[in-house]
Structure 1
Amino acid sequence: MIILKYLRKIINYLERKEFQELLKNLPIKVGNNVVFKKNPIIQLHPDAKLIIGNNATINSDNYGYHVNMHSPCKLMADISNAIIKIGDNTRFHGSCIHAYKRVEIGNNCLIAANCHIIDGNGHQASFDNIENRINTTGEVKEVVIEDNVWLGTGVVVLPGVTIGAGSIISANSVVHKDIPSMVIAGGNPIKIIKDLN
């Protein structure tokens, strides 16, 4: 068991060094003391930006994490001028951000495993011409998650949403509307469970 533990540390070290080399060739600004646990999937347009604040953690390693991660972190800004910004001290575990325009996560946030944060739908509803739905792109609306927010495992944050500072979103919730600061909210559709003001 001890040998496996040290072997794992060596492999993780080599993967991090290889990953750090990859970062040099992408439009990424990484703050001081950022921790990458295993390699995330990063897909960026050459004109997009990924900004990760100081002391942030991007965790794609299921080992030692208290719930099961279904996949590594995925940070995708594949449209020109799209921006993903992750604040200082934020922990991001085995989740996905897809920015068509802008997704901003504040400082000191906790993003549990298996969350999805998107600022655009893949397609329009196109009920007037459903045969053409596959050829459409959805409306884009920025997403803002303010400081000190905690998203429980499996939360889906939909386009145009702002989650206010200090709020907690319970596991497996679908956030389709703005959530005020300092509340606990949950469900599908989401509703305020408790006001902490």
Structure 2
Amino acid sequence: MNLLQVKTIIANIQKIKFRNIYFMLFAPGKRSKESVILTYGNFFYGLKSSSAINIHKGSLILNSDFSKPNPFMGVLKMYDNSELNVENGFVIHAPFHIVINHNAHLKLGSGYINRNAKIRCLKEINIGNNVAIGEDFTIWDSDSHIIKGKENETTQTTVIGNNVWIGINVTVLKGVTIGDGAMIAAGAVVTRNIPAGVLAGGVPAKVIKEKIEWK
């Protein structure tokens, strides 16, 4: 426990459930002296002792609320030897449902994910820096069920690059890489790699416009 953690809890005490204080202070993992975990409202967690939440810089804010009082629940489940690694500070708004499987790694660079996120990490998901991800976002790195003859393709690393903007109701599937600076239109289902600096959309998602920038 450090002074920053104590100050953060005191400043936000009206929005923190008592059981979450233990999580904020003692969740397994390594965090810098300038980093904290902050959880708001109805937050459920299940962490194995060998799991780890590591924060290199900045803070991890979970279940941040848009409405007051916040009726939504955030869920984080981490299994044996799983890791959640935060590079530069990240916010996930309420509600959300995140599962990190045995030996799996979820990396969050910096930015935010809006309401109703569903993340299923069975091996490795990497989300870059300065990302803006809209509501009803789903990302998987696995089919979960095995297709006969394609056993080696069931689970594949999924990557979202830096400075990526993802619209509402987007699904990103296994083995996909979304390049730096890309924009993904609302309602897209991303089943293949998306180059850097393009606008992609549709089901399945394809490039709509090249050489785009956003801010």
Aligned to 2:84, which of 25, 50, 55? 50
The runs of at least 4 aligned residues of structure 1 exceeding 6 Å deviation read none
Task: Give the Å deviation of 1:101.
Answer: 0.8
Segments of structure 2 that go 5 or more residues without pairing to the other structure are 1-11, 29-48, 66-72
Matched residue, 1:124: 146
Matched residue, 1:34: 60
Segments of structure 1 that go 5 or more residues without pairing to the other structure are 1-8, 61-71, 129-135
Deviates more, 1:46-55 or 1:142-151: 46-55
- Please give the root-mean-square deviation of Cα atoms over the aligned residues, in Å: 2.4
Deviations 1:26-77 (A, max 9, x none): 51113423323166311111211111232311211xxxxxxxxxxx222211
Residues 178 and 138 of structure 1: CA distance in aligned 2, closer, same or farther (over 3 Å):
closer
C-alpha separation in 2, matches of 1:53 and 1:42 = 18
Task: Give the Å deviation of 1:124.
Answer: 2.9
TM-score by length of 1: 0.75
1:159 aligns with 2:165: no
TM-score by length of 2: 0.70
Query: Using CA pairs below 8 Å that are at least 6 residues apart, which structure has the higher relative contact order?
Result: 1
State the percentage of identical aligned residues: 30
Matched residue, 1:17: 21
Say if 1:100 and 1:119, in contact at 8 Å, map to a contact too: yes
More strand by share: 2
Matched residue, 1:103: 125
Deviates more, 1:23-32 or 1:92-101: 23-32
Say if 1:123 and 1:138, in contact at 8 Å, map to a contact too: no
